[in-house]
Amino acid sequence: MSPPSENKLLHSSQSTFERPSTDVDVELCAMESRDTMSAKSISSMTSHHSKCDEEHYAALKGLLVVGISSVLLTILGFVVGLSLSFRNSTAYERYSEGRRYWSQLASVTQSLARLVWVHADERPECPTEDLLAKITFCNMLVSLSVALKHRLRYEPFTHYQDLQPCIGHIPVIAHDAVIKEPATPTWWQDAGLFLGLPMVEENPRVLMKNPAKPLGNVPLEIHSACSNFIKTIIENGTFKTPGYHSMALALLSQINDILNGVDRVLNTPLPLAYSIAIAQITWVYILVLPFQLVDRLKWVTIPATIFAAYIILGLAFIGREIENPFGKDVNDLPLDSFCMQIRQDIDVIMSQSPHLMDELVKRDDNEVLYPLSRLGYGALASKSVDEIRSLLRAKMQISSDCKTDVSASGL
């Protein structure tokens, strides 16, 4: 049995090294209102958690410095930069290629509509019939662009508001298809889409899978109808010049190339192996990043890592966002505007009479010798050919003098 003095000394030593209790009464804190919590209790809780954070930070720091070399940051940074550069350059190439195809479609439809509108004659015995036929052809070119827009958005039917009135008379297969509407997203799907979570996105091809009846290919069927129209006006003699025949067929061939080109862009995404590898490398870099920065940045490691992750993931999501340029997102191509522009351009072509030149030449406000003279057609029609040619030589001299003056002034 130890002496009382030893027991007392042992008890004193234990009490000296005994850690004070810092337990928090969870039930009591939960019952108290946030508004009635005293500043003293907040201060004590903050002080307690600060001390714990310092201890955890010190322990974590020791693990980090020993566990991972800072050389990994440089190596992974290079690999991540190379991967994101490859992903974004590939995605932007698809975006740019899609824009080029739509620009080419606008140009080809304008040229084909103008060629038929101006150079296809209207027979004297049935001018109204021929005129309405040409209007129908020009409208089919507009319908082709609208149908292509819906096909690129995985909308294979014909009941859409901007398409149905234009192709109701064209016998396309999709008229008899069973219409399926996309499922209404639930609230958690809407929240996931708002947060950009890819796992909640619905497969856009779901409407095209296992159809009850064939869906066909609406743009291709409209293109075939346009080819039939060219064949008809060649056979009935209203489209006479052989050179125009070749031009029209070449333009139709270009439209077919455009249809195949946009289909290739849509259905040839980045290979899945690349997508998975780039995503894994990016996340590994982000997860390892704080372990590399903690020795130098101390507590600034947390906001610095968040900021770096925001930039890196932002670049990764940009590449994913523009990989399919034909959707309805804000970063996709404005296909609705493109279709509207094509419609407006073709309407402008049809607003001009094919025989407009006969009316334009003989107008009094046709100042054919401007800037030499502001006389109109009526005043110059009474002059001889030699007089008009003499005036043209004088006009050439005035134009040369004006060019010399502009060059001397440095403009």
Looking at the structure, tell me whether residues 197 and 334 fall in a common domain.
no
What mean pLDDT do residues 95-100 have?
94
How far apart, in whole angstroms, are the C-alpha atoms of residue 372 and residue 395? 5
268: in domain: yes
Can you tell me the mean pLDDT for 223-248? 93
* pLDDT tens digit sequence for 137-187: 999 999 999 999 999 998 888 888 888 888 888 888 877 765 656 556 666
Mean pLDDT of the chain: 77
| 139 within a domain of the structure (yes/no) | yes
Residue 115 has pLDDT above 90, yes or no: yes
Cα 215–217–223 angle (5° rounding)? 150
Residue 381, pLDDT score? 86
Position 155 in a domain: yes
Residue 48 resides in a domain: no
Q: Are residues 132 and 151 in the same domain?
A: yes
Please provide the size of the chain in residues. 411
Please give the pLDDT value at position 64.
Answer: 42
Residues 268 and 166 in one domain: yes
Arithmetic mean of pLDDT, 293-304: 81
Residues 87 and 204 in one domain: no
Looking at the structure, do residues 93 and 190 belong to the same domain, yes or no? no
Same domain, yes or no, for 143 and 85?
Answer: yes
- Distance CA(348)–CA(358), nearest Å, equals 19
Residue 240 near residue 232, CB atoms below 8 Å: no
φ, ψ (nearest 5 deg) of residue 324: -110, 100
Domain count, the chain: 2
Co-location of 266 and 129 in the same domain: yes
Tell me the two tokens of residue 275: 């997508």
Same domain, yes or no, for 200 and 230?
A: no
Residues 91 and 199 in one domain: no
**Is the pLDDT reported for residue 13 higher than 70?**
no
Does residue 261 belong to any structural domain of this protein? Answer: yes
Q: Are residue 100 and residue 190 in the same domain, yes or no?
A: no
Q: How does residue 404 score in pLDDT terms, banded at 50, 70 and 90?
A: low
Res. 109 pLDDT band, cuts 50 70 90: very high
245-255: average pLDDT? 95
Whether residue 169 contacts residue 159, with contact meaning beta carbons closer than 8 Å, is answered with: no
Confidence (pLDDT) at 34: 39
Average pLDDT over residues 321-346: 91
Looking at residue 403, its pLDDT comes to 61
Structure token pair of residue 279: 């995503």
At 270, the pLDDT band (50, 70, 90 cuts) reads: confident
Flag whether 235 is in a domain: yes
**314 belongs to a structural domain:** no
**Which whole number is the average pLDDT over 70-81?**
79
Percent of the chain residues topping a pLDDT of 90:
30
Other CB atoms within 10 Å distance of the CB of residue 342: 22
Please tell me the least confidently modeled range out of 153-167, 189-203, 291-305.
189-203
Q: Are residues 146 and 111 in the same domain?
A: yes
Question: Are residues 115 and 149 both part of a single domain?
Answer: yes
- The yes-or-no verdict on residue 324 having pLDDT over 70 is yes
- Whether 128 is in a domain gets the answer yes
Would you say 231 and 239 are in contact if contact means Cβ atoms under 8 Å apart? no
Lowest mean pLDDT among 74-88, 204-218, 235-249, 302-316: 204-218
pLDDT at 129: 94
Instruction: Give 19's DSSP letter.
Output: P
Instruction: Print the domain residue range for 241.
Output: 71-171+217-274+319-353
Q: Flag whether the pTM goes above 0.85.
A: no
Rounded Cα–Cα distance for residues 174 and 216 (Å): 6
The predicted model gives 30-43 an average pLDDT of 38
The per-residue b/e assignment along 276-285, b for 16 or more CB within 10 angstroms, e otherwise, is: eebeebbeeb
pLDDT-based confidence at 75, cuts 50/70/90? confident
At residue 6, the pLDDT reads: 41
Pairwise pLDDT comparison (58 vs 228), residue with the higher score: 228
